[in-house]
Structure 1
Amino acid sequence: MALADIEPVSRESTAAIIARQLREAIMNGTFAPGTQLGETELAGRFQVSRGPLREAMQRLVSEGLLRSERHRGLFVIDLEPDDVHDIYSARFAIERAALIRVLRHGDREGLALRLLDAVEEMASATDGDEVSAADVRFHEELVAASGSKRLGRMARTLLIETRMCLSALHRTYATNEERVTEHKRIAEAIGAGDEELAVSLLEAHMEDAVQRLAPGTSLHA
């Protein structure tokens, strides 16, 4: 194919726009795990025909965010204890590797400042969505600081399920203070260059989330 034969990329399709908005609604908990998605209601909400809506919903089925039940319809996936365990085990492996790489070869002080900035956002958040967004930013900063494209790519594949977990996790805290403190201590350990403490705190942070979301399940079970 010659360069002249390459055609301009078309605008985002209606189905793609709907899929993106549904994906965001699932991530932030607007559509909680187990929620049934009705075509009639959603077509009315999006003010579209059922054709692009069905195409969008099938995209999310292929992504694993929706499940189809025969004669019943489409439902947001449930995060079972095994799912929670898998998500946080994978996250810990990725973030531990990133943390060690930063502490041994990166700008740990610069990272600590960015992490503490995310902690401040978390502390001043006024609702669960803002808390979760700051939480995501904290962990994204940690992975990005490693400079590893592969760690970043692996972390991004877990983003939607991570956001789903964080939305559910927010409801398990009586106040925001404990969540803020956990993240602040990790940031301070990184700033101090204490690898053993930072890894230990990160592990305890992930273990606590697993226990909250799937009681009786352990990160290392």
Structure 2
Amino acid sequence: MGAVSSRGESGPSAGEPAGLADDRVLLGRTSTAERVADILRSRIADGYFRPGTRLSEDSIGGALGVSRNTLREAFRLLTHERLLVHQLNRGVFVRVLTVEDVEDIYRTRRLVECAVVRGLGAPPYALDAIAEAVADGRRAARERDWKGVGTANIHFHRELVALAGSERTDEVMRSVFAELRLAFHVVDDPRRLHEPYLARNRQILETLQAGDCDQAERLLAEYLDDSRRGLVEVYGQRVGAGDDEGARTGE
């Protein structure tokens, strides 16, 4: 027999959803807020909202057909993910990263992405989505669409992470890749930033297709180290390592 509650019979019995009926109204709003956050996160990741941009409640809420409260909850979720910042009496802005932020993003990427490749086990691997991202990047480069190359590059790494088959890992890295895109948009020369990695994406894909995940991990680690150094160099010239609050808020 289970323990008797010291509260006696006047309190709720075990398993009774006491008070939860009052919270029913929150379900629709919260789920809608999460969907709105997904939309805005994707827009940030794809470069539609640049760092430092003020997000208008009226225009975004009107475009999506959601209430001000729902939109504010979505903003709160994205602020928690470090994609947005709230400035008192000024509004909500897309965050501008510091160089330290960029370094930390790459530390996280190296830990996660290399671990995913290391843990793949025996081939074959499900590489169709990765191959599609490689093809998208090459197509965008032929069209001189360097923003498109950057988007394809992020898709390549997102699909690489998806090989782990872990929804939790996908969720963590979705925010990391969205943050990374914030750094991309501070850089003046996207071609210099993205073009060198088209061939390296294809090399990693071909190595995985050959079933050599050890070599693929080595290539990926070198790739991420080189990418970090290059981005930090050009990003630091624009933002600077010591730009703290102004850099973070877009001021």
Category of TM-score, reference length = shorter chain = 0.7 to 0.9
Where does structure 2 lack aligned partners over 5 or more consecutive residues? 1-14, 236-251
CA RMSD of the aligned region, Å? 3.7
Q: Which has the larger radius of gyration?
A: 2
Give the Å deviation of 1:208: 2.9
Judge conservation of contact 2:134–2:152 (CA < 8 Å) in 1.
Answer: yes
- The aligned length equals 209
Please list every run of 5 or more consecutive structure 1 residues that lacks an aligned counterpart in the other structure.
Answer: none
Residues 94 and 155, structure 1, Cα contact 8 Å, conserved in 2: no
1:33-67 Cα shifts (integer Å, max 9, x gaps): 22222334444544555343333323322333221
Q: Which residue of 1 aligns with 2:122?
A: 106
d(CA) in 1 for partners of 2:132, 2:67: 44
Tell me if structure 1 keeps the 8 A contact 2:52–2:94: yes
In the alignment, which of 80, 104, 119 is matched to residue 62 of structure 1?
Answer: 80
Partner of residue 181 from structure 1, selected from 175, 179, 199: 199
Residue 28 of structure 1, CA deviation: 1.7
Which of 40, 44, 52 is the aligned partner of 1:34?
Answer: 52
Question: Measured at CA, do residues 27 and 145 of structure 1 come closer, stay the same or move farther in structure 2, by a change above 3 Å?
Answer: closer
Please tell me whether the aligned partners of residues 45 and 178 of structure 2 are also in contact (alpha carbons under 8 angstroms): yes
- Correspondence 1:192 to 2:207: no
Asked whether the 8 Å contact 2:137–2:152 carries over to 1, the reply is: yes
Task: Give the drift of 1:181.
Answer: 0.5
Distance 2:111 2:104 in 1: 11
**What is aligned with 1:158?**
173
Q: Of residues 184, 189, 202 in structure 1, which corresponds to 2:220? A: 202
Which structure would you say has the larger RCO, counting Cα contacts within 8 Å and 6 or more residues apart? 2
Secondary structure in structure 2 of the residue aligned to 1:34: coil
Cα distance, 1:162 vs. partner? Answer: 0.8
Q: Report 1:1-221 matches (<5 A).
A: 1=15, 11=28, 15-46=33-64, 50-102=68-120, 105-107=121-123, 109-111=124-126, 115-125=130-140, 127=145, 130-147=148-165, 149=166, 153-166=168-181, 168-169=183-184, 172-174=190-192, 177-195=195-213, 197-215=215-233
Same amino acid, percent of matched pairs: 32
State the Cα distance separating 1:97 from its structure 2 match: 1.6
* Distance in 2 (alpha carbons) for counterparts of 1:156 and 1:66: 17
**CA separation in 1, counterparts of 2:193 and 2:74?**
37
Letter in 2 for 1:55: E
CA distance in 2, matches of 1:49, 1:110: 44
